[in-house]
A and B are shown apart, each in its own frame.
Chain A
Amino acid sequence: MPYLSIALLLVAWLSLWVGSVHVSVPGGLIDFVSGVVSEKAIIVGEIRLPRTLIALFVGAALGMSGAALQGLLRNPLVEPGLVGASQGAALGAAAVFYFGLFAAAGSLAITLAGLIGAFVALLLMLALSGTGRPSLVILAGLAISTIAGAALAVVLNFAPNPYAMQELVFWLLGSVSNRGLDSLYVLAPALLVGGVIILSQRRLLAALGLGEQVAASMGLAVNRGSRLVVLGTAILVGASVSVAGNIGFVGLIVPHLLRPFTKYRPDQLLIPSALAGAILVCSADIFVRLLPYGQELKLGVLTSLLGAPLFIWLVVKESRRWL
């Protein structure tokens, strides 16, 4: 954990420093905070700072939600994207783009819709799979993802004009660039509330490793606790998808890589996963910015490119275990 915290600070600093223009990071931050209007204050404070913070928060949300879902479903192959939560959130948010739902909620509308979408998707997945049996969870998640994907395709199909569709597609690919600081008003509370809800159930996540009966016999409210974990996950995923679109595989890779360092204990995996998720997404975003100027590679595309091979490796490893 101390190593992760140090790495997080380093990556954050790097993220503020890297860009097409070289400026002094401390100078820019000081000018920005003290309200001095200068070139470095605008570059560091208004362009790089929001981008960095959003990348960190989105990464933390995805990392922790992955760890929580894997613990809850007792399945190391689960991640928010695989169980339909991301697609649900995307569908909810896309519906706002298209239909203008929750107009009264203003800038919160997309987040609200994303959250509801993720929550409904997760509940449907749980209802469909019934138990935490790995094969059923993956199947149910696939079914929900497919339905949400189909509905999303409908929304795209009937997009009012080509520009709206392009905007929607680019947003779905996942990116943390060009989001204002006000996205943080959504992300920060969501990370806090979702994180607290999930952490409140860490004893349940630990005990569930021995099965539902053992957990219940030790006085834990299995059903209520599971629903709370789902709610917490939905808040985290819903908020991050609505701000940054789909950034896949972070929730899968991060807990998986950290698990051996936390003695495979699902309860002790949560906070390290949040830290490492933040580091990963922020690093990936720095990498995207370092690519030669031109058409920007979307952050979500990069994480998928990196994550998919790892997922294949995991599947191969799992299949060998059963041979």
Chain B
Amino acid sequence: MALIATQSLTVDTRLHAVSMQLQRGEVVGLIGPNGAGKSTLLKTLAGLEDYSGEIRIENNLFESYSSSERARMVGLQPQLVDSTWPISVEEVVALGRTPWHDRDEVAIQQAMQMAGITEFSQRTIDHLSGGERARVWLARVLAGQPQALLVDEPVANLDIHYQLSVMNVLKDYAANNNGVIVALHDLSLAARYCDKLCLLKSAECVAQGSPTEVLTESLLHSVYEVEVDVDLNRQPPVVLPR
């Protein structure tokens, strides 16, 4: 039984008839050009957009969940997050317990540990670097212990060290009988960390499957309109524009 399954999911003109699945233990990567519909898909799965078609969570219709129940199952880390108030890192992470109406210290500490931010938990968010903040936002979603974790561009603007550390957190989270859907621009990271990929172009899913099925030179050329070198046999795999 899929953790999340969509059937002909359509959101006005931004998403057209997308059918995809997320199984437990899996990291699914959403790739595609800017404006292809990656963020829209993630937001829809988190209940932020009106849609037609069907979304099922553990085989139950999306609408059969109350908004709190849904938020406990599905956690979203949007692309752009900022905190208006200079609250402490621990308080930001504690906000992730909102769907549960509690302040479960164990969950909060675990989330901070997973994201590797325990050492600066008492600092305020406005005194952190971009890379540190990215991990704080991630810990905020993890504190909600969602079974399906949706993350939009978590590594944009991060240096390579933080890119790998964030992707490793996602991979470990999925391995723990959860599922992760992550929107990515970096195709090499997608090849390295994702079990399945869904390639979006102009609101449609044009290809999905394992990285070897989706990351082909001809397919990427037709979608991105640039020549791409693909070497998936290398460790780690490399996908680079020529």
**A209 in contact with B78 given A203-B98, A217-B46 (CB within 8 Å):** no
Closest chain A CB from B182 CB (angstroms): 15
Contact B95 A206 (CB under 8 A): yes
B113 within 8 A of A: no
Which of chain B's residues have a CB closer than 8 A to the CB of A217? 43, 46-48, 71, 74-76, 78
Contact A263 B88 (CB under 8 A): yes
Which of chain A's residues have a CB closer than 8 A to the CB of B88? 263
Choose the segment among A51-59, A99-107, A218-226, A303-311 that binds chain B (4+ C-beta atoms closer than 8 Å).
A218-226
Chain B contact residues (Cβ within 8 angstroms of A): what range? 20 to 34
Which of chain A's residues have a CB closer than 8 A to the CB of B80? 211
B86 within 8 A of A: yes
CB contact list, A207-246 vs B, under 8 A: 207-211, 213-221
B91 within 8 A of A: yes
B83 within 8 A of A: yes
Contact A213 B85 (CB under 8 A): no
Which of chain B's residues have a CB closer than 8 A to the CB of A218? 71, 95-96, 98-99, 144
A-B Cβ contacts below 8 A, count: 80
Which of chain B's residues have a CB closer than 8 A to the CB of A213? 43, 48, 76, 78, 81
- CA–CA, A264 to B89, complex, Å? 12
Which of chain A's residues have a CB closer than 8 A to the CB of B99? 218-219
A74 within 8 A of B: yes
Which of chain B's residues have a CB closer than 8 A to the CB of A216? 46-48
Number of interface residues of A (CB under 8 A): 23
Contact A266 B78 (CB under 8 A): no
A289 within 8 A of B: no
Which of chain A's residues have a CB closer than 8 A to the CB of B69? 219
Contact B84 A209 (CB under 8 A): yes
- CA–CA, A74 to B67, complex, Å? 23
- CA–CA, A210 to B140, complex, Å? 10
Contact B81 A221 (CB under 8 A): no
A265 within 8 A of B: yes
Binding site for B on A (CB under 8 A): 74-75, 203, 206-211, 213-221, 259, 263-266
Having A210-B81, A219-B67, one finds 11 other A-B pairs with CB under 8 Å, namely A74-B85, A207-B98, A210-B83, A210-B95, A211-B81, A216-B48, A217-B48, A218-B98, A219-B47, A219-B66, A265-B85
